Amino acid sequence: MMIKLWMIFFIMFFVGNMIFVSKHKHLMIVLLSLEFIVLSIFFFMLVLFNFFFFNMYMLMVFLVFSVCEGALGLSILVSMIRTHGNDYFQSFNLL
């Protein structure tokens, strides 16, 4: 049972990283892949803490930071859409 959970975590983490690394035109897809990676790390921590009978307080802290990361990504997306009109990476210049 534990090996299946580890395999699910590694597949989720690998797929999230492959989507993040691959070349995409839209910022929204990149943000969704980052949230998928955070979800896989949360799943890994949940399984690990349950296996070792740890307190779940650290998961609450992790969820708070992941929500802050998601809100920051959405605010960047909204500001980019307001300034450039779309969320294409080709429409703006990175210094």
Report the C-alpha gap between 76 and 30 in whole angstroms.
12
pLDDT at position 83: 84
Distance (Å, whole) CA 24 – CA 22: 6
What is the model's pLDDT at position 13?
93
Name which of 13-17, 32-36, 64-68, 79-83 the model is least confident about. Answer: 79-83
Q: Does domain 2-91 have CATH number 1.10.287.3510?
A: yes
What are the sequence ranges of the domains in the chain? 2-91
Structure-token pair, residue 54: 């740890």
Average of per-residue pLDDT across 3-7 = 85
Separation of alpha carbons 61 and 95, rounded Å:
34
C-beta separation of 31 from 73 below 8 A: yes
Q: Which of 75, 80, 78 shows the shortest CA–CA distance to 91?
A: 80
Predicted local confidence at residue 39, as pLDDT: 93
Whether the CB-CB separation of 42 and 59 falls below 8 Å is answered with yes
